[in-house]
Homo-oligomer: A and B are copies of this chain.
Amino acid sequence: MAAELGALEENLGLRRILLFVEYDGTHFAGLQTQAQGERTVQQELEAALARIPGARPKVWPCGRTDAGVHALEMPVHYDTQDRIPVERIPHALNSLLPSDIRALRAREVPLSFHARKSCLWREYRYRILLRRMPPALERHRVWWMPHSLNLIPIRHALEHLVGLHDFRAFAVKEERNTVREIYRAHLEVWPVEGGQEVWLEFVGSGFLRGQVRSMVGTLVEVGLGKRDSDSVRALLRGGSRKEAGPTAPPQGLYFVRAGYEPYRR
């Protein structure tokens, strides 16, 4: 009874905050803290929360991004007993965060809500810059290549990826359950000075570690004529990692957004 009262008191006024953050992944060893001494997005967020009296300095991110990978709107949740009005939270945190992480918006969610477990879909984008010479300005933002890509077979291969599949061939490490569902796989082309930019966009229930970058590496091989688009279908029917293409470099990858309602195209 006393313990229960203690727990009640301890949680008095406890709120769970869902925070959406943008970050430039260039100077981070990734989103999640894995080893001490590495600069991670999680570590910076927790250091900022530690300076807010009442906030518990532990964040739960929706996804996981590797070193060099960016996020336009990554949801994370944390618990707090502070009294900051929810619409002021992003401003309060931005005054404590380094400039390569920005809090964009926040909302209060039930204590049963979980940024990762409650998430129903995630969207990723991969940017490829096709032009003769490498970029100075976008060097940490795109995968540059001096070749041209044949987009027709890439579009064809993207169609194979949509649906419920075993993505084992695209996992960078062993995972128990490698079945995921991709709801949308889309190619967009933008003209840029002296070339074009290709965006590969994926929405899915979830993605294996390294899956998007392995799919992109494989799709680029399709676009270069090194493999045909049907080989992607074969990979989904029981291929191994070494039969898939290389892992695309991190700086072209963006976590775009996550959804907490069922995905609708």
A90 located at the interface, meaning its Cβ lies under 8 Å from any Cβ of chain B in the complex: yes
Bound CA–CA A101/B133 (angstroms): 11
Q: Is there contact, CB below 8 Å, between A136 and B193? A: no
Q: How many copies does the complex hold?
A: 2
Contacts of A72 on B, CB cut-off 8 Å? 137, 193
Least Cβ distance of A20 to chain B in Å?
Answer: 9
Minimal Cβ-Cβ distance residue in B for A101 = B136
Which of A102-110, A112-120, A153-161 lies at the interface?
A102-110
| Residues A94 and B24 in contact in the complex (CB < 8 Å), given A139-B100, A193-B72 | no
B103, B134, B136: the one contacting A133 at CB < 8 Å is B103
Task: Mark contacts of A13-25 with chain B using CB atoms, 8 A cut-off: 1 yes-contact digit, 0 otherwise.
Answer: 0000000011110
Q: Tell yes or no: A36 within 8 A of B by CB.
A: no
Question: Closest Cβ of chain B: how far from A43's Cβ, in Å?
Answer: 16
* Chain B residue contacts of A77, Cβ below 8 A: none
8 A Cβ contacts from A114-157 to B: 132-137, 139, 141
Looking at the assembled complex, report how far the CB atom of A151 sits from the nearest CB atom of chain B, in whole angstroms: 24
In the assembled complex, 5 residue pairs joining A and B whose CB atoms fall closer than 8 Å, in A order, are A22-B136, A72-B193, A99-B139, A100-B136, A103-B133
